[in-house]
Structure 1
């Protein structure tokens, strides 16, 4: 049987330099492919890239070995921001035609957009070499080609600079600097997944969890199996104290990439942190406060970036310190908790209580006022009122302290205390003292009279104990109290059941002041 012949009018021979690789394409296909390409070009010129794209694809399907068609589609993909697809087409175009200069330039642009530095450098070298070979005797043409990639060369140098800066900053845990560097890099490499995820990881370290998760989610929308993106989401969940979901993310990462060091390390830390916190809580429930303190302290050393969990640990430790009556230390732990979470209501209320117990009522009022802004509950309002009342009381004279008695003292205790101190501070006893000392003793003597006048009167004592102002009563609670009259009531008029004789003279002690009880 004679060999089948092919009409040359119906075919297009591709790859003229390698006739052994003849590909026969019906001429109608070639013409139709050209028509598709031209229509695509017209749409491309008016920036209708989405409409142009399928036309280039149809041209490629008709003539799959045309470097120019792949080059055109690569350009269209680039305008749509689909740099990975554009890169694949550009690579295909130079595989089909290793002298296709536009293909190399598009590989360069795409590799920069994707953050593929090694390929970008190789592409620049290829372009330079191709330009030199093609224009050995034409320096102007060679210079024009080099000028066409001048921006890409500058971009590559910027990428190298900020990549180096970011690496140094990351090693120093300067995550704000890393985020800044990543933003500069993404201006040059808008499609680089690696830079996006590095930024997301550092945002998580900076407690900007929502921004970090949005970046990770965008990447996972395109690539559901991206282990680094899943790792970032797990980080955010862990630092938001969503431990169980974080565990499942880390486990997923390790299934996809068993050697993912960061995921393995944070997974171990997360498990240890949960263990120590739970053990501390159990010790606290059993009133083993020293043990609970030690366990919470160990837990706080595990992960410095877990702000929410660490805030809770500081709060728990503050409660332990309160139980141990270490109020300054408890306040310090509440401060640390509030540094990590400024709206942590429980820590705010605990610190306020510690201030109350420390009699720092002004600080307690400030905390309770802030607590009421965060939560206007009836309990918080009551606590604020109590703190304000305590502050009000603290600014008055403490008559119990002046008499040297406690608030549960009986009427007889009050009288005995006054009798004892009045004899010590009466001005006549200090007649020969310095002027400053005499005035000080007069002040104390007057205060003793006031204290006795208030605390010996049941009505006034009740108002004083309830925090009312001293001058709330008509005429004032102590306006009618004469310290000398109070003293005379004890000594000048005699004491019931006793015969009393006393004498004050300007001569002072001894002899000038004498008293005896019959």
Structure 2
């Protein structure tokens, strides 16, 4: 197969873009191959075969004239790079059965002349390609001798066999040969081998055609399965590899798609569609040099849109690297986001850079999400081991950032594992070595501090956590652990300071907020304590410990102000109301009261009553009351209750909400809203 020599690779991306613009200005728009940018190209139709001619002799035998076939070697030399291999021009189109017909019970004889055995020049057809049900056994008739005459009659006719073909989409005309081949029999002649090769081509095209239909529907898993079947028939087919890569891209398995395209180019280095697809993949993965190399090999010219995308990604990627060198983390975040939006949406390294920037800007939860997304990409399968980013080798940067995020979130064992992997990959990198030493020291300090704390040695535990903070001064977990030590030592002011530092690093850190509220309580700073407990109640609505602490802080605050607190209670069962005086006293208590107007015989009341009991346990600071309207009709009339179940919520003696036949979700939402 002849290949056009590839154009010399441009030195820079700007040169490539300028060359592409110049070429596009001289070419006509319609000179571009149709469907060049389509992931899966349409299957070209095969050319029609010559119409066979036949004549029937008096003996009942049939002779069929057929155009000679091209040699078998021509199948491998005629390739189409539109994404599919066209059906060979000498193969019968789908559904057609040229080359023979049945007449009576006589055998089928293929000749190269216009009449059977009419001349000594008649010779057997060694290149004939019968495509039909020649014999049910799959065996071909023996070739005729080089000459024949009337003295040499044809073989006696065999008994008539009526083949019944089933319905469906199968390629009839290949059935008996398939049966013989599946039985394990090797082709006995070159003619048999040609028949099998032609069958393989036709079947492969049919499978690929079905795969293309599934791809167009977005059924990428099914398309991939069909392309795998086509490849099993012909493993060294570049177009099948290209189609398989397209299905893998649809499944977001980009690393595998890269390998599939590279395999297609190994088979056929001039396959322009594979170069185009590889360039697009490398742009998405953030591999600038690889993308430019493959774009320069696309014929007749690289796509201008892809070149523009590559230029934009390269610009933002360069700015991101420069900003990281000087520690400008806001710029790192901005440029990494811009590069991802420009087309490098599957670049694990850019996502890792974004995670590192978010971490340094104290957005720890967002950093965790970013590095988790980066870890989902199979980066090692889509780049060479010597690929560098910001001075890091290959995956070393990913593990380096992962270790930082794990350490900030208190996942010290994971942090040690990640930094160990980074050092194995890139042992000579000074940043990796420094981070390795830091993570190891912090993990040791935390482990020692925990052992001392559990043994009750709070003073030494406090010192151990302090040593860890010297190595990593922005570790919220170590600050919170030291605050716990100082709380137990009665150093409540210092405990509050450590909690404040932890909350600066991680504002939604519940443990730090809880320890600060407890420290405020010890110092009888009830206003600050109640504020912290209110936040905790919203964050942890089902935590009974927080609810009880909040209740006691409220009682203490009211008591410090001289307010009445003797009637305040915490938790318990749903209180039954039997009279108007009891009802008025219960609903006038400080805090929140929820009144359930019901009757035991009502089906809806019976259905929602278990939910009320659950809420009573879940929100112990809320007073839950129930009024049986049959036993206490005066209360029902005073409250104008006409439909049951009805719920009324009172806060500090004032009715704030009324609900008639509410759902369980609405009831719990209302209790949580007014009870916190």
TM-score by length of 2: 0.43
Q: Which of 286, 289, 292 lines up with 1:121 in the alignment?
A: 292
CA deviation after TM superposition for structure 1 residue 303, in Å: 1.9
Alignment of 1:20-35 (within 5 A): 26=194, 28-30=196-198, 32-33=200-201, 35=203
Contact 2:211 2:227 in 1 (8 A): no
Structure-2 separation of matches of 1:277 and 1:79: 45
Alignment of 1:7-406 (within 5 A): 9-12=71-74, 14=76, 26=194, 28-30=196-198, 32-33=200-201, 35-37=203-205, 39-41=207-209, 43-45=211-213, 46-47=216-217, 48-127=219-298, 130-131=299-300, 145-146=301-302, 149-171=303-325, 173=327, 175=329, 178-187=332-341, 188-202=343-357, 206-208=363-365, 211-212=369-370, 214-215=372-373, 218-219=376-377, 234-251=403-420, 254=423, 258=427, 264-276=433-445, 297-313=466-482, 316=485, 323=491, 327=493, 331-339=496-504, 340-342=506-508, 343=510, 344-353=512-521, 355-356=523-524, 362-363=527-528, 366-367=531-532, 375-376=545-546, 378=548, 381-392=551-562
> 1:390 and 1:233, CA in 2 relative to 1: closer, same or farther beyond 3 A?
same
CA deviation after TM superposition for structure 1 residue 183, in Å: 4.3
Contact 2:245 2:256 in 1 (8 A): yes
CA deviation after TM superposition for structure 1 residue 160, in Å: 1.0
Q: 1:48-94: per-residue Cα shift (whole Å, max 9, x none)?
A: 54444444444445445444443344344434433333333333444
Contact 2:458 2:486 in 1 (8 A): no
CA deviation after TM superposition for structure 1 residue 247, in Å: 3.1
> 1:90 and 1:362, CA in 2 relative to 1: closer, same or farther beyond 3 A?
closer
Secondary structure of the structure 1 residue equivalent to 2:472: coil
> 1:171 and 1:96, CA in 2 relative to 1: closer, same or farther beyond 3 A?
same
Contact 1:308 1:341 in 2 (8 A): no
CA deviation after TM superposition for structure 1 residue 178, in Å: 4.0
Secondary structure of the structure 1 residue equivalent to 2:364: coil
**Structure 2: gaps of 5 or more residues:** 1-68, 80-189, 382-393, 564-676
Larger mean CA deviation between 363-372 and 234-243 belongs to: 363-372
CA deviation after TM superposition for structure 1 residue 169, in Å: 4.1
> 1:222 and 1:40, CA in 2 relative to 1: closer, same or farther beyond 3 A?
farther
Structure-1 separation of matches of 2:547 and 2:453: 31
Secondary structure of the structure 2 residue equivalent to 1:33: helix
CA deviation after TM superposition for structure 1 residue 352, in Å: 0.8
> 1:79 and 1:215, CA in 2 relative to 1: closer, same or farther beyond 3 A?
closer
> 1:336 and 1:318, CA in 2 relative to 1: closer, same or farther beyond 3 A?
farther
More helix by share: 1
Q: 1:438-487: per-residue Cα shift (whole Å, max 9, x none)?
A: xxxxxxxxxxxxxxxxxxxxxxxxxxxxxxxxxxxxxxxxxxxxxxxxxx
Structure-2 separation of matches of 1:236 and 1:44: 43
Q: 1:409-447: per-residue Cα shift (whole Å, max 9, x none)?
A: xxxxxxxxxxxxxxxxxxxxxxxxxxxxxxxxxxxxxxx
Structure-1 separation of matches of 2:277 and 2:458: 69
> 1:15 and 1:336, CA in 2 relative to 1: closer, same or farther beyond 3 A?
same
Structure-1 separation of matches of 2:454 and 2:251: 60
Contact 1:159 1:185 in 2 (8 A): yes
CA deviation after TM superposition for structure 1 residue 121, in Å: 1.0
> 1:12 and 1:238, CA in 2 relative to 1: closer, same or farther beyond 3 A?
same
Q: 1:470-512: per-residue Cα shift (whole Å, max 9, x none)?
A: xxxxxxxxxxxxxxxxxxxxxxxxxxxxxxxxxxxxxxxxxxx
Contact 1:29 1:62 in 2 (8 A): no
Residue number in structure 1 paired with 2:670: none
Structure-2 separation of matches of 1:173 and 1:103: 39
> 1:160 and 1:230, CA in 2 relative to 1: closer, same or farther beyond 3 A?
closer
Structure-1 separation of matches of 2:234 and 2:449: 72
Secondary structure of the structure 2 residue equivalent to 1:301: helix
Larger radius of gyration: 1
CA deviation after TM superposition for structure 1 residue 107, in Å: 2.4
Larger mean CA deviation between 336-345 and 8-17 belongs to: 8-17
CA deviation after TM superposition for structure 1 residue 155, in Å: 0.9
CA deviation after TM superposition for structure 1 residue 193, in Å: 3.1
Residue number in structure 1 paired with 2:127: none
> 1:27 and 1:196, CA in 2 relative to 1: closer, same or farther beyond 3 A?
farther
Structure-2 separation of matches of 1:170 and 1:158: 19
